[in-house]
Structure 1
C-alpha cells in the first residue's frame, strides 16, 4: 500500500495542506488542484492516479461536472467529498460514477480507511484467486483484465461496479445481501439509509440494458440482489 498516486481536488488550501501532511507518511503521493478545471486536466493527463478525492463545491467546474467529464474517458476510482447530510450530493455523485462518498467534516482515520478499501479492491480484483472467466448467458466477465462484455459489446464499468457484478455472478442463483456487498466491495458495513450499493447496481443494470433486454439482476427488497440466467 505504498507509493500510491492520489489526486485531491479541493479549493480549501488549508484543508489540502493538512491532508497532505496526514497522508504522505502513509506512503501516498498526493497531487493537489484547487479548482475543477485544473483538477480535470490533471485527472485526464499523462500521470496515472490510483484514486481521485473530489470535492463537490469547486470554482470554475463543480465536482459533478468534473466527474461527468472524467467518466467520458477515464474509469479512475473517485471518492466524492460531499456536504454532511446532503443526500442529493451522495446519490447524484454515485449516479455519475463515483466509487464512494464521504461527508464533510470527516475523521481522518475514516478517510484513510476509505482510501485503503478502494485501493485494495483495485489491486485485488485482477489478482483474485478466482481467476476463471465467468460466462453466464450473454455476459462474459474476465477478472484478470477487469473486462465485461454483453453480447460481445464491451461494458465500461467502474472498479466498484465491476466488483459488485463479479460477486453477483460468482453467486448466481443465490441471494447476496446488501451488507455482504458493502463489506466485500466497499470495505465497510452498510449504514442505515445508505443507498450506495443500490445506486451502483442501478448503474450496472443501465449499462447492461444498452445491449440486452433480459433482467439479469433481481432485487429482493430489504434483503439483497440475485443474479439470474434466463433459460
Structure 2
C-alpha cells in the first residue's frame, strides 16, 4: 500500500474511467481528489495541493494541455497524462507543457498504478540531490539541488522528468546510457516496455538544450556530449 498522505488529483470527464481510476488509487492507499473538466481541475488543484495529477487530454471547458499549463504555473507537480492517441506530436505537446509521463487509452490499471508510484518515488529522491555540487559541462550548468539548468547565460525551463533525464545522462558525459537504464533510473521501471517514453522525452529535452548535446546510439541508448550544440 502507498503512503496515504500522498494526494492524487484525477481529472477525467468519462465518469466510468474517473471512478475506476479513483477507486483503484484509493485501494492503493492514496488520498484521491476528482475533477471532470478543465476549470474544476484547476480549482481542485489550487484548493487541495495534490502531490500528483492524473490528467486526461480531452476535457470540456478547456483541455488537459491548458490545465497542465495552468497548474504548472501555480506549482510544479508530476503529471501523468491520459491520451486516446499515441501520435508522437500529441505526446510531445503534452511533455512540452509540463507533463512528465503519459498513458495511451485503453490502459491496464496495474500500469497506471506503477507509473504513479514511480513518479512519486522520483520526487522523493529529489531531496537526495541537496548535497550535490553544480555540474558544468561545456556551456551547460546544472544545479542539482535547486533543479535549475542554464545553457550559456539563459536558464532553461525543464519538466521534472526532463531534468532527471538530463542529470542521468550528464552524470557520465560521453558514455552511452541504455534506454533500459534510463527507464530504471529516471522512471523507476524495471522493464524495456517503455522505451518509446524515453525517446519522446529525449526529443523534448533536445528541443530545449540543443539536439547536438544528446547523441543517439541506435539500438542502444543515448550519450551526453559536452561540445557546443550546432
Normalising by the smaller structure, the TM-score range is 0.7 to 0.9
2:105 is equivalent to residue 104 of structure 1: yes
Residue of structure 2 aligned with 1:228, choices 218, 225, 229: 225
- What's 1:32 paired with? 34
CA distance in 2: counterparts of 1:126 and 1:144, whole angstroms: 8
CA distance in 2: counterparts of 1:142 and 1:99, whole angstroms: 20
CA distance in 1: counterparts of 2:61 and 2:192, whole angstroms: 34
- What's 1:12 paired with? 14
CA distance in 2: counterparts of 1:86 and 1:162, whole angstroms: 23
| Worse overlay, 5-14 or 127-136 | 127-136
Deviation at 1:133, TM superposition (A): 2.5
| Worse overlay, 33-42 or 60-69 | 60-69
Cα gap change, 1:108 to 1:86, in 2 (>3 Å): same
Task: Kindly indicate whether the alpha-carbon contact (under 8 Å) linking 2:9 and 2:32 is maintained by their aligned counterparts in 1.
Answer: yes
CA distance in 1: counterparts of 2:96 and 2:192, whole angstroms: 18
Q: List alignment gaps of at least 5 residues for structure 2.
A: none
**Secondary structure of the equivalent of 1:195?**
helix
- What's 1:180 paired with? 181
CA distance in 1: counterparts of 2:104 and 2:56, whole angstroms: 10
Cα gap change, 1:70 to 1:113, in 2 (>3 Å): same
Task: Kindly indicate whether the alpha-carbon contact (under 8 Å) linking 2:91 and 2:200 is maintained by their aligned counterparts in 1.
Answer: no
CA distance in 2: counterparts of 1:19 and 1:137, whole angstroms: 45
Cα gap change, 1:34 to 1:46, in 2 (>3 Å): closer
Q: List alignment gaps of at least 5 residues for structure 1.
A: none
Cα gap change, 1:222 to 1:68, in 2 (>3 Å): farther
CA distance in 1: counterparts of 2:213 and 2:65, whole angstroms: 29
Cα gap change, 1:63 to 1:25, in 2 (>3 Å): same
Task: Kindly indicate whether the alpha-carbon contact (under 8 Å) linking 2:9 and 2:34 is maintained by their aligned counterparts in 1.
Answer: yes
TM-score normalised according to structure 1 size? 0.84
Task: Kindly indicate whether the alpha-carbon contact (under 8 Å) linking 2:6 and 2:51 is maintained by their aligned counterparts in 1.
Answer: yes
2:146 is equivalent to residue 156 of structure 1: no
Cα gap change, 1:166 to 1:85, in 2 (>3 Å): closer
TM-score normalised according to structure 2 size? 0.84
Cα gap change, 1:147 to 1:47, in 2 (>3 Å): farther
Task: Kindly indicate whether the alpha-carbon contact (under 8 Å) linking 1:76 and 1:158 is maintained by their aligned counterparts in 2.
Answer: no
CA distance in 2: counterparts of 1:12 and 1:42, whole angstroms: 17
- What's 2:76 paired with? 75
